[in-house]
Amino acid sequence: MRIARTRTPAVALGLLLACFATNALAADLFVSSKVGTSWGTGDGTGELDIVGIAGSGEDNDASPVYGAAFGIAVPLSDMMPYSMSLPSFDVPIWPGKALHFTGSEDFRFPGWRTVIEAETLWGRDFDFETDSGSALNPFRSEVESASFLANFRLDVPIQAPLTALFGRLPMIEPMTLYTGGGAGLSWNEITTKGPANFGSDDTWDFAYQYMAGVGYALSDQLHLSVGWRYFNLGELSLDIADVNTGSYDVEVGAHEVTTSLRFHFYHVPFFGQE
């Protein structure tokens, strides 16, 4: 069967990337301050040995979160300074028809800003109440957490596609959409608070997060970001030794909305533009 092709003059995938591309940016060291609200969810399971019963449940609480970060912002084209060959290919769009993408012998990554940072956030303080199997004696726990993570974030400018659709919008030109993630350690302290099952413990646990949001360049040195992240601080366990003995485990995750103000204070001369 003969396939009719609709040819595009753009390079494969390069058309999409070029739509968002901007001029290469300089690489800068930066510091940032962060503040926001964290909505934590505790999924707890506990058992009391004396009465021989167990219970589980879920509870939610909100807490402020704040902190700081230090890192480097580098153009993606400097992090990936390679050229590659992209093959041509067809994408079927209708019986007998296909969209043809023309490959490239010299495809290069655009200059999107890539952020690598070491971040610490603290202030998370959640109170959870979950079932212990006894209506008169639920598990009441307090979880305090501080995180120390390495983050990777990619900022994608939206100026070019919006200009193509609506014309020049000067107020929108400094705006980007970002996505990223991070992994590291969280320091967690958990305390159960009775009335007859007291216990406490503090641990270092593996933690991770992923994020998305909007960035805006107030100037060459000041960048404002507002976004959402999901933070998982791990599963906490402790032994109870008071009027009752037993154990309690709680897995805690949090949805957070944070605002960040980033100050670029030093241009790294061996990256990007001089």
pLDDT of 122? 94
Predicted pLDDT at 63: 96
- Higher-confidence residue of 178 and 11: namely 178
What are the chain's domains? 8-267 (2.40.160.20)
* 3 band by pLDDT with thresholds 50, 70 and 90: very low
pLDDT in tens, 50-75: 666 677 778 899 999 999 999 999 98
Compute the distance between CA of residue 140 and CA of residue 44 in angstroms, rounded to an integer: 10
DSSP state of 26: P
pLDDT of residue 14: 42
Element (H, E) at 15: helix 14-20
pLDDT at 96: 77
The 10s digit of each residue's pLDDT in 129-169 is 877 666 667 778 889 999 999 999 999 988 766 666 666 66
Closest to 161 measured CA to CA, from 20, 258, 13, 263: 20
Q: Given this model, what pLDDT does residue 243 score? A: 61
Q: What is the pLDDT of residue 11?
A: 38
Per the structure block, which two tokens stand in for 86?
A: 């992209």
Look at the alpha carbons of 83, 84, 87, 93 in this order and tell me if their dihedral is positive or negative.
negative
Q: Which residue has the higher pLDDT, 167 or 41?
A: 41
Q: Does residue 6 have a pLDDT over 80?
A: no
pLDDT of residue 161: 63
Radius of gyration of the chain (CA): 25
Find out whether 172 and 158 touch, Cβ atoms under 8 Å: yes
**Could you give the maximum distance between any two Cα atoms of the chain, in Å?**
82
Contact criterion met (CB below 8 Å) for 44 and 57: yes
165, containing H or E segment: helix 159-166
Residue 215 is predicted with a pLDDT of 95
When pLDDT is cut at 50, 70 and 90, the band that residue 16 belongs to is very low
Residue 5, pLDDT > 90, answer no
CA angle in degrees (0–180, nearest 5) for 11-12-13: 110
Q: Which band of pLDDT confidence, cut at 50, 70 and 90, is reported for residue 269? A: confident
Q: What's residue 199's pLDDT?
A: 73
Taking alpha carbons only, the member of 207, 208, 188, 195 closest to residue 249 is 188
pLDDT score, position 82: 67
Quick one: pLDDT at residue 244?
64
Q: Could you tell me what percent of the chain has a pLDDT over 70?
A: 74
Quote the pLDDT of residue 162: 63
Select the more confidently predicted residue: 229 or 17.
229
Given pLDDT bands bounded at 50, 70 and 90, which one contains residue 24?
very low
Length of the chain: 274
Report the mean per-residue pLDDT for the chain: 80
pLDDT of residue 202 exceeding 50: yes
* Sheet bearing 89-94, strands edge to edge: 4-11, 97-102, 89-94
Cis amide linkage into residue 95, ω under 30° from 0: no
3-state secondary structure of 1: coil
- What does the pLDDT read at residue 167? 64
